[in-house]
Amino acid sequence: MAGYVLYVVDTETTGLDPVACDVVEVCFCRIVWETGQEPASDIKTWLLKAKNPTAIQDSALAVNGHKREDILHLTKYGKEKYQLPEEALAEIELWIMDDNVSALDRVFIGHNPTFDLNFLRQLWKKNNAENTFPFETDNDNRVVDTKQLAIIIDLCTGRRRQMYNLGALAKAFGSKKEKSHRAQGDVETTVNLLLKVLEPLRPMLIEKFSNAYPEE
């Protein structure tokens, strides 16, 4: 059986409520990592127009740097750069389906991915596209949190740390940190952290646990 296709994901939003607020930026990095080979990756970012102006929180925009007038298509720049959500979803689905695997073979990865997953599920729902959501993540199956990976390492080493935010972990594990609080920058930092943690573990895990699977 072939392994999973990995998708490292991050969103930037107009607030914290996935029902009322909107996704205005989303980045996916697709990673295919075959046994004995270097990981191959492909990254793509979309900017989306906000649908609910009343739910836009200035505190959220202050963090992610998006401008209210742009995400509402009140400027020429906004109209050119921020796609209508339904158009962006169609593009995202086509890009993801280019992996030629089913939703059961995709793994959703992030740093605190529950936040991003909840917003993306709502994004598909708001655009009447629930049935085409490209990930099978019920009960958080096939969802990986890089923060939890760090906690597992701490359990194994008998050590503990005070901070598990993305920047602190990137520094601690010596992985490259990209621009924070923009979707692509956070995705690239998460990918760097993920590979930094998994690369030394992968050969050992393959050797120790290759027989821990039922026969196909």
- pLDDT-derived band at 1 (thresholds 50, 70, 90) equals very low
- What's the rounded Cα separation, in Å, for the pair 114 and 109? 10
- What's the rounded Cα separation, in Å, for the pair 181 and 109? 17
Q: Which two tokens stand for residue 37?
A: 């080979």
Map tokens 């930094």 to a residue: 196
- φ, ψ of residue 159 to 5 degrees: the values are -110, 170
193-200 long-range contacts (CB < 8 A, ≥24 apart) are 193/111, 193/146, 193/166, 193/169, 194/8, 194/109, 194/146, 194/149, 195/39, 197/146, 197/149, 197/150, 197/153, 197/173
Amino acid in position 78: G
In this predicted structure, what is the pLDDT of residue 146?
Answer: 96
In this predicted structure, what is the pLDDT of residue 82?
Answer: 98
In this predicted structure, what is the pLDDT of residue 216?
Answer: 53
Whole-angstrom distance between the N-terminal and C-terminal Cα of the chain?
Answer: 7
Q: Is the pLDDT of residue 43 over 70?
A: yes
Q: Dump strand ranges (E) for 94-214.
A: 106-110, 143-145
Asked if 107 contacts 142 with a C-beta cutoff of 8 angstroms, the reply is yes
pTM value? 0.93
pLDDT digit string, tens, across residues 142-171: 999 999 999 999 999 998 898 999 999 999
In this predicted structure, what is the pLDDT of residue 2?
Answer: 59
Asked if 190 contacts 146 with a C-beta cutoff of 8 angstroms, the reply is yes
Which burial class, exposed, middle or buried, applies to 59 when counting CB atoms under 10 A from its CB (0-12, 13-18, 19+)?
exposed
Per-residue pLDDT, averaged over 17-24, amounts to 98
In this predicted structure, what is the pLDDT of residue 211?
Answer: 83
Mean pLDDT of all residues belonging to the chain: 92
In this predicted structure, what is the pLDDT of residue 215?
Answer: 63
Asked if 120 contacts 11 with a C-beta cutoff of 8 angstroms, the reply is yes
- Residue spans of the domains in the chain: they are 5-209
Q: What CA–CA distances, in Å, run from 190 to 28, 213, 214? A: 11, 28, 31
Instruction: Report the CATH fold assignment for 5-209.
Output: Nucleotidyltransferase; domain 5 (3.30.420)
Q: 14-18, 64-68, 120-124, 138-142: lowest mean pLDDT where?
A: 138-142
Which among 119, 123, 101, 122 is positioned nearest to 110, based on CA atoms?
Answer: 119
- What's the rounded Cα separation, in Å, for the pair 179 and 187? 10
pLDDT digit string, tens, across residues 88-110: 999 999 999 999 999 999 999 99
- φ, ψ of residue 27 to 5 degrees: the values are -130, 135
